[in-house]
Amino acid sequence: ATTLGAAAAQTGRYYGAAIAAGKLGDSTYTGIVNREFTMITAENEMKWDATEPNRGQFNYSNGDRVLNQALNNGKRVRGHALLWHQQQPGWAQGLSGSTLRSAAINHVTQVATHYKGKIYAWDVVNEAFADGSSGGRRDSNLQRTGNDWIEAAFRAARSADPNAKLCYNDYNTDGINAKSTGIYNMVRDFKSRGVPIDCVGLQSHLTNGPPGDYQANIKRFADLGVDVQITELDIAGSSQAGGYSTVTRACLAVPRCTGITVWGVRDSDSWRTGENPLLFDGSGNKKAAYNSVLDAL
């Protein structure tokens, strides 16, 4: 195969990228996106601040641009993200308690309903666990509405779009550590109680490469009966090409690791300014890291 998407398809997987609506007029950018990737994530356009700038008033214009760019070119879409402590609209940042809870669940319902039938998988909840050794939840306005806010969000998403896979997504969860174990325990609990969850996203914002127990961590989640997806991959550092190879091989070694998404197209598109963590250089040329992924797929 000569593209990332076609190479990943040889084992039934996808290879995706996060894209920005504002860059779709750049033909170098759109050319790479259309050629290489089979799954698309909106980098910012489906987040809460973008889709519900005023309470109860929804704006899907940029989200729909990203969606249509994907669907019109035969690609699938990962929805990102229904609830998160960051990139909330100002009005939601000012709410708490049962008022915030109803606004949040309404947001899940409305956005998942708008995109019903068009989304392969939703990041229903993003980054809800704390860094460090606690293994517990991160403090946030959403968490302060009650520990059951995550399962309430997953149930609302399932009701709104029964065919979308529903994922929990987070960072610093690539290896086996207190944070990833906290999430593992939540997923195990959800599965045992019938709370709808289908997948776990490992963001994998990395330097040089993943931790040595990356594959083992992917496998332990898969063994709970959920798919695992690498959702926001980017790798800084001098061992970048090798790191990309290691990530690719780890996913391919676990049958339920269903795909990999890189968080941007060219280095100049990356949110990690100056770290050049992506597969294409600023001119759109393939980097060594690109060849390393293609060889490993």
The site for ligand XIL (CB under 6 A) is made up of 43-44, 126, 203, 232, 271
Kindly name the residue from 36, 43, 127, 151 that is annotated as catalytic: 127
Nearest distance in Å: CB 98, ligand XIL: 27
Strand 199-202, strand 205-207: pairing:
unpaired
Q: Which is nearer to ligand XIL, 7 or 112 (CB)?
A: 112
What's the min distance (Å) between Cβ of 277 and ligand XIL?
Answer: 11
Asked whether the bond before 81 is cis by omega within 30 degrees of 0, the reply is: yes
As a whole number of angstroms, the distance between CA 279 and CA 50 comes to 27
- Given 43, 45, 151, 232, the catalytic residue: 232
Task: Determine whether 232 is an active site residue.
Answer: yes
CA atoms within 13 A on the CB side of 241: 10
Has 275 been annotated as catalytic? Answer: no
- In the complex with ligand XIL, which residue's Cβ is closer, 52 or 232? 232
SS (H, E, C) 92-148: HHCCCHHHHHHHHHHHHHHHHHHCCCCCCEEEEEECCECCCCCCCECCCCCHHHCCC
185 vs 153: CA distance, rounded Å: 18
Q: Find the shortest distance in angstroms from Cβ 274 to ligand XIL.
A: 14
- Half-sphere exposure (Cβ direction) of 195: Cα atoms closer than 13 Å: 19
Q: Which is nearer to ligand XIL, 278 or 297 (CB)?
A: 278
Residue 44 vs 141, nearer CB to ligand XIL: 44
Closer Cβ to ligand XIL, 137 or 219, answer by number = 137
Q: Is the dihedral of CA 287, 291, 294, 296 positive or negative?
A: negative
Indicate the residue whose CB is closest to ligand XIL: 271
Cα distances from 218 to residues 4, 48, 89, 204, 280, in angstroms, run 21, 28, 33, 12, 26
CB of 44 to ligand XIL, least distance (A): 5
> Which ranges of 126-239 would DSSP assign to H, the alpha helix?
149-160, 178-193, 214-222
Smallest distance, ligand XIL to C-beta of residue 10, A = 28
What positions carry a catalytic annotation? 127, 232
